[in-house]
């Protein structure tokens, strides 16, 4: 019988890379739930700008958002117009928003900045959790996120909680951003990660926390192949 594997952990702990490779080895479907929250954030930013862009028309570095745009009713009205799809390809999971491939756009720093407050909204979580449960209900899935083992699938067959030091996570994320041509420093990224950790772990709706029956893996000193092997061995037990 195909199993459901939940992989949770803080930002830049290696969840997506590890989950994707584990799914590939098991011939399972990989589902990055974080991409779904980022897609909602892209739609929200576009709605705030009213120009179908996540950035203001005249300035790509700053964004002034009226307080009313953080209102859950504003976001709820937006959700009713969204269609988010996750499609598998040779290049990995692709994220589509109303038929448009936004896989690159969802990784922009401005999306990273606002995804936490958007994903903390209860109506956003309710909207996406129902979709995530439908995607994983038949098993044969490796799903990563922050509340998969605690909220989305509390009865998952295997729960993994990936962690790493803030320093190591900042190093990884900085290298990713520099490779994309972004101008950032490791210290800036580290402070952003620490702030997001605090936000995600203290929010009222589905806070980031380890499930009681999850197996914690600290991958600060592990290579990707090593942590993948650890999870594969657990999955075969």
**Digit-coded pLDDT (tens) for 122-163:** 999 999 999 999 999 999 999 999 999 999 999 999 999 999
Kindly compute the dihedral angle of the four CA atoms of residues 33, 34, 40, 42, in this order, to the nearest 10 degrees. -140
CA angle 227, 233, 235 (to 5 degrees): 105
Which residue, 197, 214, 44, 223, is CA-closest to 144? 214
* CA–CA distance, 235 with 28 (Å, rounded to integer): 12
Say if CB 201 and CB 208 are below 8 A apart: yes
pLDDT the model gives residue 225: 95
Say if CB 5 and CB 158 are below 8 A apart: yes
The residues, ordered by sequence, that sit 6+ positions from 209 with a Cβ below 8 Å of its Cβ are: 150, 201
Query: What is the CB neighbour count within 10 angstroms for residue 192?
Result: 18
Say how many residues make up the chain. 237
Question: Phi, psi at residue 20, to the nearest 5°?
Answer: -60, -45
The residues, ordered by sequence, that sit 6+ positions from 24 with a Cβ below 8 Å of its Cβ are: 30
pLDDT the model gives residue 116: 87
Domain, as residue range, for 91: 4-235
User: What tokens does 32 get?
Assistant: 């990055």
Query: What is the CB neighbour count within 10 angstroms for residue 112?
Result: 19
pLDDT the model gives residue 75: 87
For the chain, list residues with pLDDT below 50.
60
Count of domains observed in the chain: 1
pLDDT the model gives residue 49: 79
In the block, residue with structure tokens 């976001």: 75
**Helix or strand run (H / E) with residue 63:** none
pLDDT the model gives residue 129: 94
pLDDT the model gives residue 2: 86
CATH number of the structural domain spanning residue 66: 3.40.50.300
User: What tokens does 29 get?
Assistant: 């479907």
Say if CB 214 and CB 157 are below 8 A apart: no
Q: Is beta strand 215-218 parallel, antiparallel or unpaired with respect to 158-163? A: parallel
pLDDT the model gives residue 140: 94
pLDDT the model gives residue 203: 85
């Amino acid at each position: 019988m195909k199993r459901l594997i939940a992989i949770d952990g803080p930002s830049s702990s290696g969840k997506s890379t590890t989950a994707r490779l584990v799914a590939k080895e098991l011939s399972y479907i990989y589902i990055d739930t974080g991409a779904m929250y980022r897609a909602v954030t892209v739609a929200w930013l576009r709605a705030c700008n009213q120009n179908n862009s996540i950035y203001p028309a005249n300035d790509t570095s700053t964004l002034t958002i009226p307080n009313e745009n953080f209102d859950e009713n504003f976001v709820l009205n937006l959700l009713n117009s969204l269609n988010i799809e996750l499609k598998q390809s040779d290049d990995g999971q692709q994220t589509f928003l109303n038929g448009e491939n936004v896989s690159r756009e969802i990784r922009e720093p401005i999306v990273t900045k606002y995804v936490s407050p958007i994903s903390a909204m209860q109506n956003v979580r309710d909207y996406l959790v129902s979709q995530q449960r439908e995607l994983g209900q038949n098993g044969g899935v490796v799903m990563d996120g922050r509340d998969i083992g605690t909220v989305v699938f509390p009865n998952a067959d295997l729960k993994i909680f990936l962690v790493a030091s803030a320093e190591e996570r900042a190093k990884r994320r900085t290298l990713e951003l520099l490779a994309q041509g972004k101008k950032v420093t490791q210290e800036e990224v580290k402070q952003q990660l620490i702030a997001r950790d605090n936000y995600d772990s203290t929010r009222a709706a589905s806070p980031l926390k380890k499930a009681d029956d999850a197996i914690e893996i600290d991958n600060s000193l592990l290579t990707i192949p090593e942590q993948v092997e650890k999870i594969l061995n657990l999955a075969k037990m």
